[in-house]
Chains A and B, each alone.
Chain A
Amino acid sequence: MKSIIVMHEKDNVGNALEDIRKGDDVSYATNGQKQHLVAQDDVPFGFKVALRDIAPDADIVKYKEVIGMASRPIKAGECVHIHNVKGKRGRGDLEEAQA
Chain B
Amino acid sequence: MKFKGFIRPDGSVGIRNHVLIMANARGASNLALLIARLVHGATVYVQPQEGGRDTADRQTIARTLIGAARNPNVGGVLVVGVKENGGYPEFDAANFVDAIAASGKPVETVFLNSSGGLQHALGEGMRKARALIQKASECEREEVGLGDLSVAVKCGYSDPTSGMSGNPVVGYLFDRIVEAGGTAMFSETTEVIGAEHILAKRFTDEGQRRKFLDAVARVEAQAKATGEDIRKINPIPANIQAGLTTLEEKSLGAIVKSGSMPIQGCVAYGEKPEGRGLYFMDAWMSSSALFLGFAAAGAVLTIFQVGGGRFPEDALMPSAQSGLVAPTLFMTGNPHAYENIHEEVDFTSGTVISEKEPLASAGDRLVREVLRCASGRLVKGEIMGVKEFPEMYLQGPCL
* B249 is an interface residue with CB less than 8 A from chain A: yes
| Residues in chain B near residue A92, CB distance under 8 A | 223-230
| Residues in chain A near residue B248, CB distance under 8 A | 65-68, 87-89
A52-66 interface bits toward B, Cβ cutoff 8 Å, 1 = contact, 0 = none: 000000001011011
Contact A62 B229 (CB under 8 A): no
A45-99 residues with Cβ-Cβ distance < 8 A to B are 45-48, 60, 62-63, 65-68, 80-82, 85-96
Stretch from B102-110, B123-131, B157-165 forming part of the interface with A: B157-165
| Distance to closest chain A CB from B352 (angstroms) | 10
Q: How large is the interface on B (under 10, 10 to 19, 20 to 34, 35 or more residues)?
A: 35 or more
Alpha-carbon distance between A40 and B270 when the two chains are bound, in angstroms: 49
What number of A residues sit within 8 Å (CB to CB) of B? Answer: 31
Alpha-carbon distance between A94 and B193 when the two chains are bound, in angstroms: 17
| Residues in chain A near residue B245, CB distance under 8 A | 48, 60, 67-68, 80-82, 85, 87
B236-277 interface bits toward A, Cβ cutoff 8 Å, 1 = contact, 0 = none: 000010110111110011000000000000000000000000
* B27 is an interface residue with CB less than 8 A from chain A: no
The secondary-structure label for the interface of chain A is mixed
Query: Closest residue of chain A to B196, judged by CB?
Result: A89
| Residues in chain B near residue A96, CB distance under 8 A | 227
Contact A90 B247 (CB under 8 A): yes
* B67 is an interface residue with CB less than 8 A from chain A: no
| Residues in chain B near residue A87, CB distance under 8 A | 229-231, 245-248
| Distance to closest chain A CB from B248 (angstroms) | 5
Contact A68 B249 (CB under 8 A): yes
Q: What would 4 more interface pairs be, CB under 8 Å, given A45-B243, A92-B223?
A: A15-B164, A48-B245, A65-B194, A80-B245
Subset of 18 A-B contacts with CB under 8 Å: A5-B164, A46-B159, A60-B246, A62-B252, A63-B163, A65-B198, A65-B248, A66-B194, A67-B194, A67-B245, A80-B245, A81-B245, A86-B229, A86-B231, A87-B229, A87-B230, A87-B245, A90-B234
Interface residues of B (CB under 8 A from A): 159-161, 163-164, 190, 193-195, 198, 220, 223-231, 234, 240, 242-243, 245-249, 252-253, 309, 334, 336, 353
Interface residues of A (CB under 8 A from B): 5, 7, 15, 17, 44-48, 60, 62-63, 65-68, 80-82, 85-96
